[in-house]
Amino acid sequence: MKREDILTVYRTDPKVVIKLINSMSETIAELKERVKTADNINRDDRIEPISKDKIKFFSRSIGSLVLLKPILERMKIAEIIDRICPADKQQILSHGKTVEMLVGNRLLSPQPLYRVEEWAKNAGIKEVWGIDSSLLNDDRIAKTLDAINSSRGAVKTEIALQVSKSFQIPLKQIHWDLTSFHFTGEYDS
In this predicted model, what pLDDT tens digit does every residue of 133-164 receive, in sequence order? 999 999 999 999 999 999 999 999 999 899 98
Number of domains the chain contains: 2
Structural domain includes residue 144? yes
Structural domain includes residue 42? yes
Structural domain includes residue 69? yes
Asked if 50 and 99 sit in the same domain, the reply is no
**Given this model, what pLDDT does residue 12 score?**
47
**Given this model, what pLDDT does residue 89 score?**
84
Structural domain includes residue 60? no
Q: Are residues 125 and 136 in contact, defined by beta-carbon separation less than 8 angstroms?
A: yes
**Given this model, what pLDDT does residue 103 score?**
93
pLDDT band at 75 (very low <50, low <70, confident <90, very high): very high
Contacts of 6 (CB under 8 A, 6+ apart): 20, 23, 24, 27
The span from the CA of 132 to the CA of 155, in Å, is: 25
Angle, in degrees to the nearest 10, between helices 3-12 and 17-38: 180
The span from the CA of 96 to the CA of 103, in Å, is: 11
Asked if 72 and 50 sit in the same domain, the reply is no
State pLDDT tens for residues 80-136: 999 999 988 888 899 999 999 999 999 988 989 999 999 998 888 888 888 999 999
Maximum separation of any 2 CA atoms in the chain, in Å: 85
Structural domain includes residue 180? no
Residue 124 backbone dihedrals phi, psi, to 5 degrees: 90, 30
Structural domain includes residue 137? yes
Asked if 47 and 70 sit in the same domain, the reply is no
Structural domain includes residue 120? yes
In 3D space, the residue among 82, 110, 108 whose CA is nearest the CA of residue 97 turns out to be 82
Structural domain includes residue 174? no
Asked if 161 and 89 sit in the same domain, the reply is yes
What is the DSSP track for 3-68? HHHHHHHHHH-GGGHHHHHHHHHHHHHHHHHHHHHHTT--GGG--PPPPGGG--------TTHHHH
Range of 99's domain?
A: 65-166
Q: Given a cut of 50, is residue 180 above it in pLDDT?
A: yes
Asked if 73 and 161 sit in the same domain, the reply is yes
Asked if 123 and 156 sit in the same domain, the reply is yes
Q: What angle do CA 30, 34, 37 make, to 5 degrees?
A: 135
State pLDDT tens for residues 14-65: 444 444 444 455 555 665 565 555 445 444 444 555 666 666 666 666 678 8
Q: Given a cut of 90, is residue 72 above it in pLDDT?
A: yes
